[in-house]
Structure 1
Amino acid sequence: MSDVRPPSAADTAIVLVNLGTPDAPTPVAVRRYLSQFLMDPRVVQIPRVMWWPLLHFVILPLRSRRVAHKYAEIWMADGSPLAVFTRRLAAAVQARLPESRVVHAMRYGQPAVDEVLAALQRDGVKRAVVLPLYPQYSTTTTASVDDAVRQSGALPAHVIREYHLDAGWLQAAADSIQAHWDANGRGDRLVFSFHGLPQRVVDNGDPYAVQCAASVAAIAGLLGLHENDYVLTFQSRFGKERWLEPATITTLESLARSGVRRVDVVCPGFAVDCLETLEEIAQTNADAFRAAGGQRFQYIPCLNDAPAHADALAVLASKALRA
């Protein structure tokens, strides 16, 4: 009989990984964060010898101060919303899985994936279940987390690929939308906004756009919506090449000009609220909708650390622990 004991839940850590955030709403902190983020070849697929000088001598000097101002508008008492809600979500999942250790990490910024995994190894953890907080898989996000995990070499790790059709997550998303409607009333149209990608990435086989559409169809089905009740859009375009369409902001403007006076916008591709939801959608896109003739714009918050969200992620992690 072998003396080797298979890893148990007590030997395994669950690591929730989010994209990342600057440490402070300052140009210096934003520049440091954006430099790491935009130098990832998964994110920007331009030869480094061409991209490095463009990024450091043109893009970062121009964008850092402007982006820092946007972060300052949404900064919370405890820090960046993405960091605050990710910490709270990890704590909520931990409460549901007391036999395992649950921590969080950031792909860019702190706490860094490699440092978190190395610390777990020093603490005697034998393996990790890594849950990237991206329901829909993309080579630009989930695959980048997988890169960081493998490059760290600290622990054997299982990376959960996606959960865009997970029943618990879908129900949590649908229930969150319904609860918002019950409390605030329902708009004339529901806009599902997802972070965009260059069309080229999808044309090369990235499944992200297909998975976004599948998530939207499933959530709409749970809500009993008809096709003309909602629309799928993409936000956060960067650069001059063609990105996934339709764009959220132009869709909102078009809806307003066509006579739609009330819209609700939800961002189910984001696990927690962040700059792209709280500033880009709830402020900039809301202003654009109203300027085009719209009257009531309601942003439906991300699931954040809601109990149903923590329940769904705890179940996903538990399944991976048994795999």
Structure 2
Amino acid sequence: MLDAKSPDGTPMFTAEKAVCPVHAPKDHPKIPPAKVGILLANLGTPDGYDYWSMRRYLNEFLSDRRVIDYSPWIWQPLLQLVILTKRPFSSGANYKSIWNHELNESPLATITKSQTAKIAETMKARYGDDVVVDYCMRYGNPSTRAKVRALIEAGCQKILFFPLYPQYAGATSATACDQFFRVLTEEKWQPPVRTVPAYFDDPVYIDALAQSVERAYAGLDHEPDLLITSYHGVPQRYLMEGDPYHCQCQKTTRLLKERLGWADDRIMTTFQSRFGPEEWLQPYTVEEVKRQAEAGKKKIAVIAPAFSADCIETLEEINEEIRESFEEGGGERFTYIPCLNDDDAHIAALSRVIERNLKGWLD
């Protein structure tokens, strides 16, 4: 029997015993019944916040040419001899401040597991035992390689690969797909595959975002002067080279504003997580919140539509570093609106996206 467990450790599916195909000779390799695999993919997480766990994770992440595209002859000596000597300490401290100590894992891991389990329940109700749902990380564990192998061993003869990034970027969606296709080159029997495109303007995603804003505002005893939609930044150069990320972020904000029925001056787009010396997409969130506070916007809310799950960039960077910058500028009321995470509206939206992309395979 091929047994798989859900992210919380309980059985998720049990594939029937593999059998020899009809009319095949008795010594033919046994094959499990055919299924469709759904593989969710997120950015990644270190195994721990200690120095060596952080160094392994950062080395894999920062060695990706999709993330840092400088010449390896220049970048790798700097990375190995300088950055990876110091940064694991500071990054480890940041992770420690938001770590899920009860489960000994990062919040991103905890949330992604929960998302996977809930989507698996939805898919089982819709398609029965014809699908297998699992998740992987682009960097760290569980690896894309391990999860693709597990799906194929479970009998998945078709795989739908779903990078959990609403907006497409070369440094997120593309590198996740790169790794997925790279792993497939190792398979003797390579399954037909599909990849889910960016869903930045999908009405079900926009509605889930809007619901989260409405719930957050309803729970406040004040009306924020401004909602800042903070997206992970990329170098400005990427936009000039054809990456659609900036445009898709702007459209998400516009559609969210329209769904909420707001005027233009109640919401704005910014970009966070700048790294390195070159110019990145602007305005920078950490600078803009301070400028807004100095200009009289004393009550703001911040939401991060580019992240499908709360992680170091939201729980530490937004809720600590960016909050502090706002308060330094004279800001008084700072509200962070959590990512959609495993909220029911988000699970329903992701499931709808999956169902559309399964058309023709499962109807």
Bin for the TM-score computed over the shorter chain: over 0.9
**Whole-angstrom distance in 2 between the partners of 1:294 and 1:119:** 50
Aligned partner (choices 49, 70, 76) of residue 25 of structure 1: 49
Residues 250-287 of structure 1 show CA distances to partners (whole Å, capped at 9, x for unaligned) of 10000011111100000010000000000000111101
Whether 2:61 is the aligned partner of 1:37: answer yes
Residue 123 of structure 1: how far off its partner (Å): 1.4
Q: Which residue is equivalent to 2:164?
A: 133
Aligned partner (choices 201, 214, 219) of residue 165 of structure 1: 201
**Whole-angstrom distance in 2 between the partners of 1:62 and 1:310:** 38
Alpha carbons 1:135, 1:269 under 8 Å: kept: yes
Q: Which residue is equivalent to 2:152?
A: 121
**Whole-angstrom distance in 1 between the partners of 2:150 and 2:74:** 36
Q: Which residue is equivalent to 1:282?
A: 319
Amino acid at match of 1:90: T
Q: Which residue is equivalent to 1:6?
A: none
**Whole-angstrom distance in 2 between the partners of 1:129 and 1:222:** 30
Whether 2:265 is the aligned partner of 1:231: answer no
* Helix, strand or coil at the partner of 2:198: coil
Q: Which residue is equivalent to 1:60?
A: 84
Residue 10 of structure 1: how far off its partner (Å): 6.6
Aligned partner (choices 87, 98, 104) of residue 135 of structure 2: 104
**Whole-angstrom distance in 2 between the partners of 1:65 and 1:138:** 28
Residues 114-148 of structure 1 show CA distances to partners (whole Å, capped at 9, x for unaligned) of 11001111111111111101000011111111111
Alpha carbons 1:15, 1:105 under 8 Å: kept: yes
Q: Which residue is equivalent to 2:11?
A: none
Aligned partner (choices 100, 112, 115) of residue 86 of structure 1: 112
* Helix, strand or coil at the partner of 1:140: helix
User: Aligned-pair RMSD on alpha carbons?
Assistant: 1.3
**Whole-angstrom distance in 2 between the partners of 1:97 and 1:166:** 20
Alpha carbons 2:270, 2:282 under 8 Å: kept: yes
Residue 156 of structure 1: how far off its partner (Å): 2.7
Q: Which structure carries more relative contact order (alpha carbon 8 Å, separation 6+)?
A: 1
Residues 139-170 of structure 1 show CA distances to partners (whole Å, capped at 9, x for unaligned) of 11111111111111143321112000111111
* Helix, strand or coil at the partner of 1:322: coil
Alpha carbons 1:10, 1:101 under 8 Å: kept: no
Whether 2:294 is the aligned partner of 1:257: answer yes
The structure with the largest helix share of the pair is 1
* Helix, strand or coil at the partner of 1:53: helix
Whether 2:72 is the aligned partner of 1:48: answer yes
The 10-residue stretch of structure 1 (140-149 or 65-74) with the greater mean CA deviation from structure 2: 140-149
Q: Which residue is equivalent to 1:196?
A: 233
Residue 290 of structure 1: how far off its partner (Å): 0.7
- Structure 1 ranges of 4+ moved more than 6 A: none
Alpha carbons 1:149, 1:157 under 8 Å: kept: no
* TM-score between both structures, scaled by the size of structure 1: 0.96
Residue identity over aligned pairs, in percent, reads: 37
Q: Which residue is equivalent to 2:7?
A: none
Alpha carbons 1:186, 1:264 under 8 Å: kept: no
Aligned partner (choices 337, 346, 351) of residue 314 of structure 1: 351
Larger Rg: 2
**Whole-angstrom distance in 1 between the partners of 2:46 and 2:75:** 21
Aligned residues: 316
Aligned partner (choices 39, 54, 58) of residue 15 of structure 1: 39
**Whole-angstrom distance in 2 between the partners of 1:150 and 1:272:** 24
Q: What are the ranges of 5 or more consecutive residues in structure 1 without an aligned counterpart?
A: 4-8
Residues 196-240 of structure 1 show CA distances to partners (whole Å, capped at 9, x for unaligned) of 000011110000000000000001111111111111000000000
Question: What are the equivalent positions in structure 2 for 1:213-232 lying under 5 Å apart?
Answer: 213-232=250-269
Amino acid at match of 2:95: Y
Q: Which residue is equivalent to 2:218?
A: 182
* Helix, strand or coil at the partner of 2:335: strand
